Amino acid sequence: MNISDMTNALRASTMLGKQANTVTATDPISKAFAQAGQRVQQQLDVTSAQLSSFGKLKSAFADVQGAAKALSSPKTGATDDDISKAAADFVKAFNSALQTAKANQAQATSSPELTGARRAETDLRRVLGTDSSLSSSLKGIGITQQADGSLALDATKFQAAIKANGTELRATVAKLGQQGQAMATRELADTGNVGSALKALSSQSTSLKARQSEQQAALTSFQQLASAPNPLLSASGLAAYTRFSSMF
């Protein structure tokens, strides 16, 4: 049933001036509102799922950011064990973020969501960049990047390297931490792949919720209008009709 049909139905009930006809005329209108409300709710459900998915990705990148900071700027007096733990924590956070980005892509329900998650993964994989010197130094202390983009830490090799030349090892992992922190900060910013996606999804969710409220308010107006003797002749009737028309 379209707007014209609904208008004619209300006009007919007005001309007849019968309460029974007015109630009957509003039935298809209520049905139309229910259908419109269902469409908005479906969109809101999808948006909420996307928000949850990117919320997890944001959390994963925030973990990388924190682990990278600890690796690049260890506390004063940090022991070899502290450095070893910081390196292990970074590798763990990095790999977790990588898996979360991949999961986001697998669960994506829209092109922007898929693109955002894919770009975030690409940015993560490029933490080592094109710095062959850093990659070589990391390999020498037991940190390597696998074919799937994840990092692997050879604890035995790392311990041997830190005992052999702790100063050089600390400088190497500090550089890795700096690049990791810069990458995560970039992704989480409002202009980053993760940050911008979350911002857009939050805005969309707010808009859909506002639309739901408007639909409910318009429906309530029509329900009240149903009991009026001359619906379309009243100011409230015209206002309700205008609000209703804007929903479709």
Lowest mean pLDDT of 6-15, 165-174, 224-233, 236-245, name the range.
Answer: 6-15
Range of the domain at 63: 3-245
Segment 52-97, tens digit of pLDDT: 778 889 999 999 999 999 999 999 999 999 999 999 999 999 999 9
For 1, 81, 159, 162, 166, the CA distances from 156, given in Å and listed in that order, are 73, 13, 5, 10, 14
Report the alpha-carbon distance of residue 132 to residue 178 in Å, rounded. Answer: 16
Enumerate the β-bridge partners of residue 145: 151
- Please count the other Cβ atoms lying within 10 Å of the Cβ belonging to residue 68: 26
The two structure tokens encoding residue 230: 């001359």
Which residue, among 179, 7, 158, has the nearest Cα to 87 in the 3D structure? 158
Lowest mean pLDDT of 18-27, 103-112, 162-171, name the range.
Answer: 18-27
Which residue, among 32, 225, 229, has the nearest Cα to 241 in the 3D structure? 225
How many structural domains is the chain composed of? 1
Lowest mean pLDDT of 15-29, 57-71, 203-217, name the range.
Answer: 15-29
Which residue, among 185, 165, 208, 178, has the nearest Cα to 61 in the 3D structure? 185
Report pTM: 0.72
Over 90: is that where the pLDDT of 45 sits?
Answer: no
Segment 132-191, tens digit of pLDDT: 889 999 999 999 999 999 999 999 999 999 999 999 999 999 999 999 999 999 999 999
